[in-house]
A and B are shown apart, each in its own frame.
Chain A
Amino acid sequence: MSDTGSVVIEADQGFTHSAGIQLAKFAGIAIAGLAAFIYLLWIIAGEAGSTTSGNAIDVENNSITIALREEPPQLDANRATDASSLVVLAHVMEGLLGYDIDAQLVPGVAERYEIRADGATFWLREDSFWSDGVPVTAKDFVFSWKRVVDPETASQYAFILYPIKNAEAINSGELPVETLGVRAVSDRVLEVDFERPTPYFDKLVAYLTYFPVREDFFNSTEGRYGADADMLLYNGAYLLTEWVHGSTMRWVKNPSYWNRENKGFLDEIRTAYITQDINAKLNLFKDGQIVDTHLLSPMLPTAMEQRWPIDRSMDGSVFYLEFNHRDDRITRNKNFRRALQLAQDSNELVYKVLKEPSYLPGVSLFPAWLSGVSESFQKEYPPVRHQMNVEKAREHLELARQELGLDEFPPLMMLAGDTPISLLSAEYYQQLFRKNLGLEFRIDVQIFKQRLEKMRQGEFDIVLSGWGPDYNDVLTYGDLFSSWNLQNRGRYDSPEMDSWIRIAQSELDPQKRMDAFGEIQRLLYEDVVILPMYERGFSFVVDSRLQNFRRRSVGPEVDYNYAYIDSSSD
């Protein structure tokens, strides 16, 4: 009986052969059609959109190409909160004071200044101009600062202006904006009144929230200030001439910048790529498309093999385990926290688990790069030398258990972010506390917004948290755990801490001030307010033809203001 079903399936030579030819014809048509379509797309694409490919270093045109981590939401200095905006604004705008190549505070728009107990005076230079040729005047600063504290603007960085008289009251809606303690005595002289003595005010004004804004230009933008390249005026070393959202930016040397001798040597900087994917950045660097990239530890062997010159810098931020000190939480018990403190050692976390050479094991809330009176803060006020001691930890745990009146400890909640490092640290600690103390922690992974929300609501026992500096003074860390600070999401409340912070905020004598910070550091350890994990840093590599590229701990994370091309060192 014949296989009727398989008549066509069987290797019928003739059929297969001709069907094959048919198929080949079909393939040919398909490929030809595809090629035509692609060619059509090429024509269309060529006219729309801008080319983003470019070489990392263009010696002839004195320009470089870099990559940004993400697109700045807007470039309104009074309201910017994210790192990318800071990078851009640090190159195209300038405040009263700025930082030089060695990260020292130097004059910016202000030639000289004076800080007194009750206020400060800034004398502006004559040759600082906006990109439309109009000089930068003191009125621009007054307008800008008033705008920051105005509750209508709803700037999330208004708090950084609180040292100015009435700023906080205005921002809370209690006083009108006009009462802000700042005025332009003349076009060249700016006077500031303090709410309380603020000796570190010079460090504050270098931050971008304090950058100037010109009133008439601002009004002409009709609410779109900072939204596009032509919706801003520039007074920095570079001008932003092109901004294609989500795609590219072009910074061009500012011909009327007053400090051309020391800043702004490149003719053009193009940010051609916006991506968060570190592997993509590495590939771009390898391909010679961008001028620098940072490296994570799995990439280091490749970097070493390629003989790249690897450098490192501290990113400025500190990461720690933060406890929930609210009344309904087990972690409010000090013995419990002490037990956890003694059961861990940040050295193991950094050296064995995270394995990032640029990280420093956390020893204190105050990172190693902060200056004290004359030397580094950690040198003048050495943090408590922590020794892990599991037996003592267990003793404290037992004490805590009795104090809390529990038969055994219920599972606790560890809130973590969704970054790989955060997860890694959380998993490490989970197992560590299980092994050493028999405690069970459940890891709650949340994406950024949800994590913040949970922190705000206090729905955690421990959270993996961190803090980066806003300005180059110890106070940017020092006041974190005051009972009134909104960032203090664990609601740690200690009158002793509060009193030290108040002293640190207004003490004029630098030695006494630093002593207060020293006390704060001691208290943080003794009261086990936090458990420091690590101080973050970055290993990075730069094209060897680019000189004077810097990564900063305070300020923009990458700084090309002083960079220049030296093609001889290839």
Chain B
Amino acid sequence: MSELSASSFAPIEAHQQTQVISRPSLSYWQDAWIRLKANKRALVSLYIVIGLLLFTIAGPLVWQVDPAIQDIEQISQPPGTDRGATIVPDYEPWFGTQGLPGSGLRLAEPANSQTVRMQWDALPGANGHRVYRNLFPVGSELAYGIPLAEFLNNDTLYFEDRLDLQPGRFYYSVVALDARGQITDQYQSLTVDLERVTTLQEALERGLIDTADNIQIGDEIELAWHPLGTDYLGRDLLARLMAGARVSLFIGIGAPFLFVLFGVVYGSAAGFMGGRADQLMMRFADFVVALPFLLFMILFKIAFGIGPGESGVFPMLVAMVVLLWPATARLVRGQILQIREQGYISASQLLGANTSYLIMRHMIPNTLGVVLVTVTFAIPSAIFTEAFLSFIGMGVAPPTPSWGSMSNEGIKTMLTTPHELFFPALFISFTVLAFNLLGDGLRDALDARMRNVE
């Protein structure tokens, strides 16, 4: 038994400094911001997003090339191709050169990217000829290549090739035809090397030279520079990517942001209210989901009465928002249903919290994890929905580019000119990656349960 004295019961004096708060009290958002900054990956992705926005907005001011200009001489050129071109006279039609020296299949003049002119002597027993062109030597399999022209009698013994003449080496063949117009084994071959050329007039028109005074036939000039190459109509890829960024980012970010926002509001309202209201709202959501997307896209396009040639971005945005919010709403509602039953909600209610406080302060922050994942997935989905719509003619009107439609076009020539697919796809991937990491970081930062962790 301890000693108890009257002094034990004397009141204690107030102490100074018994307990100090070691660091300032943080609100939810301040805490979140700190954690976000600490997350390296999220920071990097934030910079990427800012970079993309700069690219979109400030890019065209730096690289002032019109994305619509078609450099027909440089169609589908990968970046870094040699741009030198020799000046030649303007094109004149040709109908064979009389008295051309030599025999057999031969060139009438040096070959260049403007035209390849060749003549031959009638092959023995031939009842006409066919001209072929190949990228590879003919060889023993008699793989002549692409048929370019056919002559069903021996009157015409010359041919001018102007089809897609890329600088490089071609193997031309002239094959004899039999009496019924079918090819035989008889042929002659010619190896031709082409160089790139252009005319004075074209050089002037494209602004490659200022005046024609000092330039003569035979001089070398440089064609326009395209740092990322050109597309299937000779348009500068970099300029198009910048223009496409506007469309893709506007729709790709704008639409998901809007429909997720709407979905969150709708879904949390439904989940919170419960009962008949909930049922009704969810049934309406089901109804929207089951509507045929394609049909209603067409309808929106018409309903908004966009004139032809207006880019049609806005109707597409509206259509996507109106048609795509239910998934988010359903998700959020599910989460709300779960959260609603948690203890701290009842506690808050007992303390007198009203509905909007509960929603804003407790429920929404707790659903953010799932919502953010949805947003980061909605973004590439929106970009590709737009590409698919462009593909079937319901997207942005040409010549307005978007990354999605550029990828679409690029697929067609995936094997021959991969750069047309590579760059837009790269930008899409970058965007997607950035938003994913950002979403991750945001989720970690904003998730209330992660507070004071790490």
Q: Touch between A and B in complex, CB under 8 Å?
A: yes
Q: Known: A298-B415, A302-B415, A428-B233. Contact between A443 and B147, CB under 8 A?
A: no
Please determine whether A307 and B143 come into contact, CB atoms closer than 8 angstroms: yes
- B70 interface residue per 8 A CB criterion: yes
Please determine whether B147 and A312 come into contact, CB atoms closer than 8 angstroms: yes
Within the complex, what minimum Cβ distance (angstroms) separates A44 from chain B?
28
Q: Known: A413-B308, A431-B69, A442-B308. Contact between A6 and B454, CB under 8 A?
A: yes
Residue of B nearest to A6 (CB): B453
B150 / chain A contacts, CB cutoff of 8 Å: 312
Please determine whether B397 and A442 come into contact, CB atoms closer than 8 angstroms: yes
- B180 interface residue per 8 A CB criterion: yes
- A444 interface residue per 8 A CB criterion: yes
- A399 interface residue per 8 A CB criterion: no
Partner of A428, one of B69, B70, B147, B309: B70
Residue of B nearest to A349 (CB): B72
Please determine whether A307 and B398 come into contact, CB atoms closer than 8 angstroms: no
Residue of A nearest to B150 (CB): A312
Considering the complex, which residues of chain B in the window 45-101 have a beta carbon less than 8 Å from any beta carbon of chain A?
68-70, 72-73, 75, 93
B416 / chain A contacts, CB cutoff of 8 Å: 298, 301
- A256 interface residue per 8 A CB criterion: no
Please determine whether A413 and B136 come into contact, CB atoms closer than 8 angstroms: no
Q: How far is the CA of A423 from the CA of B396 in the complex (A)?
A: 12
Q: How far is the CA of A441 from the CA of B399 in the complex (A)?
A: 11
Main secondary structure of the interface of B (DSSP, over half): loop
A350 / chain B contacts, CB cutoff of 8 Å: 163
Residue of A nearest to B135 (CB): A304
- A310 interface residue per 8 A CB criterion: yes
B453 / chain A contacts, CB cutoff of 8 Å: 3, 5-6
- B186 interface residue per 8 A CB criterion: no
Within the complex, what minimum Cβ distance (angstroms) separates A300 from chain B?
6
B-contact 0/1 string along A299-315, CB 8 Å cutoff: 01111110111111000
A444 / chain B contacts, CB cutoff of 8 Å: 308-309, 397
A311 / chain B contacts, CB cutoff of 8 Å: 147
Q: Known: A301-B415, A418-B393, A442-B397. Contact between A352 and B72, CB under 8 A?
A: yes
Partner of B398, one of A355, A423, A539: A423
Please determine whether B163 and A357 come into contact, CB atoms closer than 8 angstroms: yes
Q: How far is the CA of A390 from the CA of B136 in the complex (A)?
A: 39
B-contact 0/1 string along A46-67, CB 8 Å cutoff: 0000000000000000000000
Q: How far is the CA of A441 from the CA of B397 in the complex (A)?
A: 12
Q: How far is the CA of A312 from the CA of B70 in the complex (A)?
A: 29
Q: How far is the CA of A304 from the CA of B415 in the complex (A)?
A: 13
- B134 interface residue per 8 A CB criterion: yes
- B219 interface residue per 8 A CB criterion: no
Q: How far is the CA of A350 from the CA of B145 in the complex (A)?
A: 19
Within the complex, what minimum Cβ distance (angstroms) separates B290 from chain A?
23
Within the complex, what minimum Cβ distance (angstroms) separates B39 from chain A?
16
Please determine whether B72 and A424 come into contact, CB atoms closer than 8 angstroms: no
- B11 interface residue per 8 A CB criterion: no
Please determine whether B147 and A420 come into contact, CB atoms closer than 8 angstroms: no
Please determine whether B68 and A431 come into contact, CB atoms closer than 8 angstroms: yes
A298, A303, A311, A435 — most chain B CB neighbours (10 Å): A298
Residue of B nearest to A451 (CB): B393
Please determine whether B412 and A420 come into contact, CB atoms closer than 8 angstroms: yes
Q: Known: A302-B415, A310-B147. Contact between A442 and B309, CB under 8 A?
A: yes
Residue of B nearest to A447 (CB): B393
A-B residue pair count with CB separations less than 8 angstroms: 121
- B377 interface residue per 8 A CB criterion: no
A352 / chain B contacts, CB cutoff of 8 Å: 72-73, 75, 164
Please determine whether B146 and A300 come into contact, CB atoms closer than 8 angstroms: yes
- A132 interface residue per 8 A CB criterion: no
B310 / chain A contacts, CB cutoff of 8 Å: 442
A447 / chain B contacts, CB cutoff of 8 Å: 392-394
Q: Known: A5-B449, A442-B309. Contact between A304 and B143, CB under 8 A?
A: yes
Q: How far is the CA of A434 from the CA of B249 in the complex (A)?
A: 28
Q: How far is the CA of A355 from the CA of B412 in the complex (A)?
A: 14
- A430 interface residue per 8 A CB criterion: yes
B142 / chain A contacts, CB cutoff of 8 Å: 309
Within the complex, what minimum Cβ distance (angstroms) separates B155 from chain A?
10
- A411 interface residue per 8 A CB criterion: yes
Please determine whether B393 and A443 come into contact, CB atoms closer than 8 angstroms: no
- A426 interface residue per 8 A CB criterion: yes
Please determine whether B309 and A308 come into contact, CB atoms closer than 8 angstroms: no
Partner of B233, one of A300, A358, A431: A431
Considering the complex, which residues of chain A in the window 430-479 have a beta carbon less than 8 Å from any beta carbon of chain B?
430-432, 434-435, 441-447
- B141 interface residue per 8 A CB criterion: yes
A-contact 0/1 string along B125-157, CB 8 Å cutoff: 000000001111001011111111010000000
Please determine whether B143 and A309 come into contact, CB atoms closer than 8 angstroms: yes
Q: Known: A5-B450, A300-B146, A443-B398. Contact between A424 and B70, CB under 8 A?
A: no
Q: How far is the CA of A40 from the CA of B266 in the complex (A)?
A: 42
Residue of A nearest to B180 (CB): A102
- B422 interface residue per 8 A CB criterion: no
Within the complex, what minimum Cβ distance (angstroms) separates A376 from chain B?
9
Q: Known: A308-B143, A418-B393. Contact between A426 and B450, CB under 8 A?
A: no
A351 / chain B contacts, CB cutoff of 8 Å: 162-164
- A348 interface residue per 8 A CB criterion: yes
Please determine whether A411 and B309 come into contact, CB atoms closer than 8 angstroms: yes
Residue of A nearest to B396 (CB): A445
Please determine whether B308 and A353 come into contact, CB atoms closer than 8 angstroms: no
A443 / chain B contacts, CB cutoff of 8 Å: 308-309, 397-399
A-B contact pairs, 27 of them (CB 8 A): A5-B452, A102-B180, A298-B416, A300-B146, A301-B135, A301-B416, A302-B415, A303-B146, A304-B135, A305-B135, A305-B136, A347-B162, A352-B75, A353-B75, A357-B133, A413-B309, A420-B412, A430-B398, A431-B68, A431-B70, A434-B68, A435-B205, A442-B309, A443-B308, A443-B309, A443-B398, A443-B399
Chain B contact residues, CB within 8 Å of chain A: 68-70, 72-73, 75, 93, 133-136, 139, 141-148, 150, 162-164, 180-181, 205, 232-233, 307-310, 392-394, 397-399, 412-413, 415-416, 449-450, 452-454
14 new A-B contacts at CB < 8 Å, known A411-B309, A442-B309 = A3-B453, A5-B449, A297-B164, A298-B412, A304-B134, A307-B141, A357-B133, A358-B147, A431-B68, A431-B399, A444-B309, A444-B397, A447-B392, A539-B147
